[in-house]
Amino acid sequence: MNKMNKHLFLFLLPFFFACNQNIKTSDSQNKRPNVLLIMTDDQGWGDFGINGNDSIQTPNLDRFCKEGVSFDRFYVSPVCAPTRASLLTGRYHLRTGTSWVTHRKEVMRSSEVTIAEYLKQAGYRTGIFGKWHNGEQFPNNPEGQGFDEFLGFTAGHWNNYHDPNLFHNDEAVRKKGYINDVFTDAAIDWIQKDKNQDPFFCYLPYNTPHSPFQVPEKYFKKYKAMGLSDKNASVHGMCENIDDNFGKILKNLEENNMLENTLVIFLTDNGPNGNRYNGEMKGWKGSIHEGGMRVPLFMKLGNYFQSGKIIKPISCHMDLLPTILELCNIPFQAKNPLDGKSLVPLLLDQELVWPNRQIYHIQNNGKESVLNSSLRNEQHRFVLNRDSSMMLFDMQNDPGQHKNIIEQNPDLKNKYLNDLNNWFSEVTSQGIAPPPIPVGYKKGGHTVIPAPEAFRFGGNIKFKGKMGWANDYFINWNSKDDFIEWKIDVAESDSYKVAIEYACKEEHIGSEIEISVGSGIIKSKISTSHYPDFYQSPDYVKRGEVYERDWKTLNLGKINLQKGESILKIRATSIPNVEVAELKAILINN
């Protein structure tokens, strides 16, 4: 569905509302409930006191779990961007175009309809405070996918958590404080700003305990004194900070008489980012086994649900969209078929028989291959490894996955392998190749084309970091044969301003660079040095991410771009002093 058809569908959505008579709602609700959806990053099932971790303190979340509803077997994707795409759309992430976490494989197609878009069309105000990770440029960014307000970052991770540089809508801002505290305070301010107006949907995707391992000192010291390693002391401290912020936002809602009419949902985005306590499950983040994808889900809406209820049937992140819409009394007719199912019958004890289902998972780093995938139903987990070997576990009798029973069950082996292949073929029917970078949307303002989104580069050029993760940049640019290319998709033919973000030592200034798109060419000389130190980053564990620094902007002038897809290429035509520069991004303005 293109963007125009998508907007037409959303415009017509209210007409579907009146046609649907099968909506459950609470008698105690005088209006549609607010929605607070909180998700953390790399926090595992075992990173909570209530799940048996006696070395961590999460009192607010433990109490919330006891007072609300918890799901015993709730599943997400093995890594973060796929989880976010499925959560927001109610669909398998491969259907949305999201297949991995970087190099544009994290981008969700703009034709997908998100929870925010459904709720916004129904009169909700919508805000996101934290990590997006489903596309940096409009219309794939939060603004293009239904959010009125955004404070956070769009990339896969951030590289500084203290006094962070963030984005408030399209504007770069520097905030004081620890990053989760900043997000919480901003969410509270936004909620309370128009508290007597429309109901709100607040999406609060915290980015910890994802690396880099930075946390306020008081948290680290507390857990380090308990004998934990530096990494686990950092992780446990991050989790306690999450718990403190969770308690803070709930307290604010209660003090403003909003908590009873707010649907509060808490989950995490994948298994733990390391081998630590995880309930004796097999695997952690990135794994297609139980420990990589089973996470907590806690939910509460005033006194609407039975306190302390534990829901046993398997469920997943894709179920939350239809569940939220039903609890908010919002009928809808999904334009893009959903894979999730509403959990309201389980929440309200309305089911007679909850049917068995199969939930599929894959971690193939964006490859068009079904290898490294698994399926889960009430009885079994079937695993197809990267080397094509297969495993089968009886999850009812062997939840730790200690005994592989694949050879004793040849019929199940054939059935489940066939099921996996059929599923993969269906959900990838539109392909999973990363889309070109959208350029020239007037509503989106300027477009940032970051280094890691290049689809090809050659010569001596390489990333500063090993893998070219988010926030990385190009170095070793020292030959006229070196080049970098990005695929772009121009919305409207026009003349566009072009700039680069770079760093260059004094002894290397003087190179002439050229950017070409189709027949359009623009050249400029790097005549100003700029090579600042990296930001001080109080990491407690050696990081894998690049460090943060300030970059200089060089305006190159204007270039004519034609509507449609093309290749943007940058190279140097003259290098008088050994090196050209370190390149962070290309900037294009309408």
Per-residue pLDDT tens over the stretch 424-453: 999 999 999 999 999 999 876 789 999 999
515 neighbors 527 (Cβ within 8 angstroms): no
- Asked whether the predicted pLDDT for residue 8 surpasses 70, the reply is no
580 neighbors 572 (Cβ within 8 angstroms): yes
pTM higher than 0.85 for the full model? yes
Note the helical H segments in 209-302: 217-224, 230-255, 290-293
Q: What is the pLDDT of residue 352?
A: 66
Q: What is the pLDDT of residue 31?
A: 81
Q: Give the right CATH number for 359-427 from 3.40.50.720, 3.30.1120.10, 3.40.1050.10, 3.20.20.70.
A: 3.30.1120.10
57 neighbors 240 (Cβ within 8 angstroms): yes
Distance CA 105, CA 469 (A): 12
40 neighbors 147 (Cβ within 8 angstroms): no
Per-residue pLDDT tens over the stretch 156-196: 999 999 999 999 998 999 999 999 999 999 999 999 998 88
DSSP β-bridge partners for residue 586: 449, 500
CATH of domain 437-589: 2.60.120.260
Coil, strand, or helix at residue 293?
A: helix
Q: What is the pLDDT of residue 24?
A: 39
Pairing of strands 359-362, 315-316: unpaired
DSSP β-bridge partners for residue 462: 475
Q: What is the pLDDT of residue 351?
A: 66
- Asked whether the predicted pLDDT for residue 226 surpasses 80, the reply is yes
Laid out side by side, the sheet with 74-75 consists of 294-295, 74-75, 315-316
Closest to 198 in 3D by CA, of 89, 87, 121, 114: 121
Distance CA 231, CA 238 (A): 11
User: Hey, what are 359's tokens?
Assistant: 């939930």
- Asked whether the predicted pLDDT for residue 13 surpasses 60, the reply is no
Distance CA 44, CA 57 (A): 14
Quick one: what percent of the chain has pLDDT higher than 70? 94
Region label for 42, one of left (φ > 0), alpha (ψ between -120 and 50) or beta (otherwise): left
Region label for 104, one of left (φ > 0), alpha (ψ between -120 and 50) or beta (otherwise): left
- Least confident segment among 16-25, 237-246, 260-269, 284-293: 16-25
Per-residue pLDDT tens over the stretch 360-383: 999 999 999 999 999 999 999 999
Give the chain's largest Cα–Cα span: 77
Per-residue HEC secondary structure of 369-390 comes to: CCCCEEEECCCEEEEECCCCCE
- Asked whether the predicted pLDDT for residue 328 surpasses 60, the reply is yes
Per-residue pLDDT tens over the stretch 531-554: 999 998 899 999 999 999 999 999
Residue with tokens 């707010």: 262
Q: How big is the chain by its Cα radius of gyration, in Å? A: 24
**φ/ψ of residue 322, rounded to 5:** -65, -30
Per-residue pLDDT tens over the stretch 99-128: 999 999 999 999 999 999 999 999 999 999
First to last CA, the chain: 25
CATH architecture of 3-347: 3-Layer(aba) Sandwich (3.40)
- The overall average pLDDT reported for the chain is 93
Please state the domain extents for the chain. Answer: 3-347, 359-427, 437-589
Coil, strand, or helix at residue 180?
A: helix
Cα–Cα separations (whole angstroms), residue 525 to 13, 203, 325, 499: 52, 44, 54, 12
Distance CA 292, CA 45 (A): 9
User: What single DSSP character describes residue 554?
Assistant: E
